[in-house]
Structure 1
Amino acid sequence: MINVKEQSVTALQAMLRAGEITSVALVESYLARIRQLESAPYHLNAISDLNPNALDEALAADNARLKGQVTPKQLLFGIPVLIKDTIDVAGMPTTAGSLALADNIAKSDATIVQRLRSAGAIILGKNNLSEFAHFMSNTQPSGFSSRGGRVINPIMPDITPSGSSSGSAVAVAASMATVAVGTETNGSILAPNSIVGLKPTHGLLPNDGILPLAESQDTVGPMGRTVSDTFALFAALNQYNQNQKLVPVMKPHLSVLSSLKWTTSLHEAVSDYVDHYDRVDMPEEQPNDDDEKAVFLSEFQHGINSYLTTHSTRMNTLQDIINFNQADIQKRAPFGQELLEKALLAGDATQEKQRVQDIARRLLDTMLKDNNVLLGDDTQLINLAAIAGYPSLTVPTGSSDDLYFHGLSSVIMVAKPFNEIALKVIGQSIESHHQRLIPEF
């Protein structure tokens, strides 16, 4: 078996090219690690389903490599990737963690999965999540789904794994794969700690074939243990995008929140790339929470009904899901389903959407000034970036003395639209001066 713990995409690619390992052996090693960590005493509950064809895909990759059939565009050739269980993978269930959708077997791949296959990636399996992207009830714990159980934080088991993409984050943190694909509506990629998460510019990557929460904010994004791995996955997801080119960056220009908790390491990381930065304050004005909730409720109702009409499942509408859960509420919705029920009654929220987007974009543009990256550790940045649709990146910086939320610290970066490369540059500098926490097992 290959020791896959903490292996990077670059290292695995080098070993594959040199013939030191095969994709079959790599998949077998990851499957063995998944079996170990999904069983006692760990029970991380990060994996919802394994791809029954993963070994066949790996064998095909090995044979293609032997025949010299690898092309330059196949950026992840032979590398196993995990996928959040809101994303269609042909022949596998897409359930969003709900027992109501256990029979929803995808007939075709989502576009981003097609791109992964074109890049040579092997689909290893799918990740557990907060049910319906954390849109069941206000009391539902983060990382819990009725189908998959509760995702466990591998660094601090008593601390929330955070974010609806918690299974993807935990799987990566625990080396069940080098990288995983998550989705975010508000914080689901950026909130999980101990890994790097990139939420790209809204609309940059396609959402078709993905079970939605709120179309105006839903974004698919890469997650990895390092900035390099995360952007390797991003490059594979984005390389077939002909509609928008990313902004090239020679030297990022920074705005920094005045509330940022500076450390010597963070000062060193920032000074590696900039001689000057603008200090800015987080505005007291923020988008109205009730407006944002109205947008979620309205767009979820429309989005889930639209998704169900194109998929083969006994659930045809949101009402069907609510009725199914109600028939055995203790098993199917143990924390309730009031958000689903409110969504059923929601009206149009076009005006609310416009209001919150205008406010979020104006506030971020004011803080960014003439710069292309805003740096901070205030979680309000996550909210503003999500509503505005601006790209953002989180980089872990170790442990935190303040355990009230995660017990793990990270730096949040928000950039102007299509400035993902600037995020990468600053993110790599911050990463080089910090040590992320690694699970003991």
Structure 2
Amino acid sequence: MTKRALGLVSVLLAGSAIAAGPAERETANAIARARQVDGKLHSIIALDPTAIDQARRIDAAGAAALPLRGVPVLVKDNIETAGPLPTTAGSLALANNVTNRDAPLVARLRAAGAVILGKTNLSEWANIRSTRSISGWSAIGGVVHNPYALDRSACGSSSGSGAAVAAGIVDYAIGSETDGSVTCPSSLNGIVGLKPTLGLVSRTHIVPISASQDTAGPMTRTVRENAMLLSAIAGSDPADPATREADAHKVDYVAALNGATLRGKRLGVMRFAAGFGTDPLFEQTLNLLRAQGATLVEIKSFDDKAIGSNELDVLLTELKAGMASYLATTDPARVPSRNLADLIAFDKANAASEMSLFGQELFEQAEKKGPLTGAAYKKARLASFTAAGPNGIDRMMRTYKVDALIAPTMPVAWKIDAAFGDYSVGGGTAASLAAVAGYPHLTVPMGLIQGLPVGLSFVGGKWQEARLLALGEAFERARGPLPGPRFLPSIEDAPPVAQLLQPVRR
């Protein structure tokens, strides 16, 4: 946590009443937990100085039947919240971006009774600036550390949200995803993360990358909490045309968990998305699913070339247009940058702080892209979406007659490396399929490998969040509890791994 946030914690705790109500107590406990552990993690960019006051107002309002009454929620710092905190996307270019606006999803959280505790750290610009970036690093927040092993990545871009939930600062956080940015940090930090159907949750007042792939999503300790958070934030927003069908498709996701079972369910095992060191744990999980009455259907291959060859062009074209549109809504006195070219110039002028670790070649490629009306862009978007959606998830589910597709979400967390950046050894196929299609993707902790978490992905068709959450709930119950994080400096220094790395004495 930043020095500013730590100082703020002391002020808030000093002002807490002795006879505090339940919302105030829970908020004060979250602040105290942040003070205790976040100096090791850097998961929080700033705490909201109004958090205790928010909680007191909720307590004063009485025992209203609100689903998230008094629950502290952390929000990724590319999502606007009303109040004194800027929305920075981790960049110094937005360090003064105080908009005094609640994103509609944040307004829905408040209406459900939640306390907005603060803003979480993230991969700067949600990891779209460079191919050599370090997941979880931002110029404002530093790098987020994984609470299971502090030298390991928390993944990105919603790294702070993942680490804060795993560390027990809060049980509920909001992340956002373009491709893997909710599900990867959820997997690596051992929590539950859901990337919803694109259009189920509003994107208004969220710093954008891609109009065709961006969505916010809930990140929580358990599947039930995830369903609670999704129920609060889902719904149509007149300012976001993609959400026009949301109200017609949203359901009570908590009620949908009633009677959750794996018995009689058919699950498509995406073998083409497995491997990268998770095979033994994945096989154990498949045996557990069978024992719970699920039928497993093998899917050995899938041709994803049309996704890989087109997705980046789509993202970069949409980034250029979307960033200009977002910046136009900010105060030019606080945010002089008005477009992507201005942001590129800002980074160059502030290279010592912004570009000492890695560059901005993706920003520069995006600046060269044409308009959204261009034929090349439209062709690339159609090709990638068709491959991932109609000819990908939809076809696999129809052909193999399955309720959902499953695979390991990611490998174990890799080490933070300032020299080489991220170097995950494969993984993320399930995330890319769901992201490009705009379909839902749930990850639930599957188990640990040498003390590091690995998630199990459940992928479904459009608007099938309730089905995935019910499958995740049934799996979570069958799997049983898992060990929490130990804040180890390194797994290589901890028993029994440390002993096994030593030579046999002769």
Q: TM-score over 0.5 for the alignment?
A: yes
The one-letter amino acid of 1:336's match is G
Given that residues 81 and 102 in structure 2 are in contact (C-alpha distance below 8 angstroms), is that contact kept between their aligned partners in structure 1? yes
Which residue of structure 2 lines up, in the alignment, with residue 88 of structure 1? 80
Choose which of 107, 114, 119 in structure 1 pairs with 2:112: 119
Distance 2:476 2:68 in 1: 22
User: Any residues of structure 2 matched to 1:58-77 within 5 Å, and which?
Assistant: 58-65=55-62, 68=63, 70-71=64-65, 74-77=66-69
The one-letter amino acid of 1:391's match is P
User: Any residues of structure 2 matched to 1:247-262 within 5 Å, and which?
Assistant: 252-258=265-271, 261=279, 262=282
Which residue of structure 2 lines up, in the alignment, with residue 6 of structure 1? none
Which residue of structure 2 lines up, in the alignment, with residue 268 of structure 1? 288
Distance 2:212 2:124 in 1: 20
Distance 1:398 1:156 in 2: 15
- Measure how far apart 1:245 and its partner are: 3.7
Which residue of structure 2 lines up, in the alignment, with residue 422 of structure 1? 467
Distance 1:93 1:184 in 2: 20
Given that residues 124 and 138 in structure 2 are in contact (C-alpha distance below 8 angstroms), is that contact kept between their aligned partners in structure 1? yes
Alignment gaps of 5+ in structure 2: 1-18, 237-245, 372-376, 409-426, 488-506
Q: Note the alpha carbon deviations across 1:411-434, whole angstroms, 9 max, x for none.
A: 111011111111112112222214
Change (3 A) 1:287 1:310: same
Which residue of structure 1 lines up, in the alignment, with residue 503 of structure 2? none
Choose which of 392, 400, 407 in structure 1 pairs with 2:449: 400
Distance 2:340 2:153 in 1: 28
Which residue of structure 2 lines up, in the alignment, with residue 5 of structure 1? none
Change (3 A) 1:106 1:243: farther
- Measure how far apart 1:244 and its partner are: 2.1
User: Any residues of structure 2 matched to 1:233-252 within 5 Å, and which?
Assistant: 233-238=229-234, 241-246=246-251, 252=265
- Measure how far apart 1:252 and its partner are: 4.4
Change (3 A) 1:245 1:233: closer
Distance 2:171 2:21 in 1: 16
2:68 alignment partner, SS class: coil
Which residue of structure 2 lines up, in the alignment, with residue 284 of structure 1? 303
Given that residues 375 and 413 in structure 1 are in contact (C-alpha distance below 8 angstroms), is that contact kept between their aligned partners in structure 2? yes
Given that residues 155 and 437 in structure 1 are in contact (C-alpha distance below 8 angstroms), is that contact kept between their aligned partners in structure 2? no
Choose which of 312, 336, 346 in structure 2 pairs with 1:314: 336
Distance 1:425 1:273 in 2: 15
Which residue of structure 2 lines up, in the alignment, with residue 410 of structure 1? 455
Identity %: 37
- Measure how far apart 1:133 and its partner are: 0.3
Name the structure with the higher helix share.
2
2:150 alignment partner, SS class: coil
Distance 1:115 1:380 in 2: 32
Deviates more, 1:367-376 or 1:81-90: 367-376
TM-score by length of 1: 0.88
2:54 alignment partner, SS class: helix
- Measure how far apart 1:165 and its partner are: 0.3
The one-letter amino acid of 1:320's match is D
Distance 1:257 1:409 in 2: 16
Which residue of structure 1 lines up, in the alignment, with residue 313 of structure 2? 294
- Measure how far apart 1:21 and its partner are: 6.0
Q: Note the alpha carbon deviations across 1:246-296, whole angstroms, 9 max, x for none.
A: 59797644222246544445423454253x332212313433424111111
Distance 2:67 2:207 in 1: 26
The one-letter amino acid of 1:135's match is I
- Measure how far apart 1:164 and its partner are: 0.2
The one-letter amino acid of 1:286's match is K
Change (3 A) 1:265 1:283: closer
Which residue of structure 1 lines up, in the alignment, with residue 216 of structure 2? 220
Choose which of 104, 107, 118 in structure 1 pairs with 2:100: 107
Change (3 A) 1:427 1:273: farther
Distance 2:268 2:102 in 1: 40
Which residue of structure 2 lines up, in the alignment, with residue 440 of structure 1? 486
Given that residues 397 and 409 in structure 1 are in contact (C-alpha distance below 8 angstroms), is that contact kept between their aligned partners in structure 2? yes
Distance 1:272 1:106 in 2: 50
Change (3 A) 1:79 1:270: farther
**Where does structure 1 differ by over 6 angstroms across 4 or more consecutive aligned residues?**
247-251
Which residue of structure 1 lines up, in the alignment, with residue 429 of structure 2? 380
Alignment gaps of 5+ in structure 1: 1-18
Choose which of 194, 199, 203 in structure 2 pairs with 1:198: 194
Given that residues 47 and 118 in structure 2 are in contact (C-alpha distance below 8 angstroms), is that contact kept between their aligned partners in structure 1? yes
TM-score by length of 2: 0.77
The one-letter amino acid of 1:211's match is V
Which residue of structure 2 lines up, in the alignment, with residue 360 of structure 1? 388
Distance 1:270 1:175 in 2: 32
Distance 2:307 2:270 in 1: 21
- Measure how far apart 1:306 and its partner are: 0.2
Task: State the aligned residue count.
Answer: 410
Given that residues 285 and 446 in structure 2 are in contact (C-alpha distance below 8 angstroms), is that contact kept between their aligned partners in structure 1? no
Deviates more, 1:233-242 or 1:30-39: 233-242
Choose which of 185, 194, 198 in structure 1 pairs with 2:178: 185
The one-letter amino acid of 2:61's match is A
Matched, 1:325 2:347: yes
Choose which of 155, 162, 170 in structure 1 pairs with 2:163: 170
Distance 2:344 2:150 in 1: 31
The one-letter amino acid of 2:368's match is L
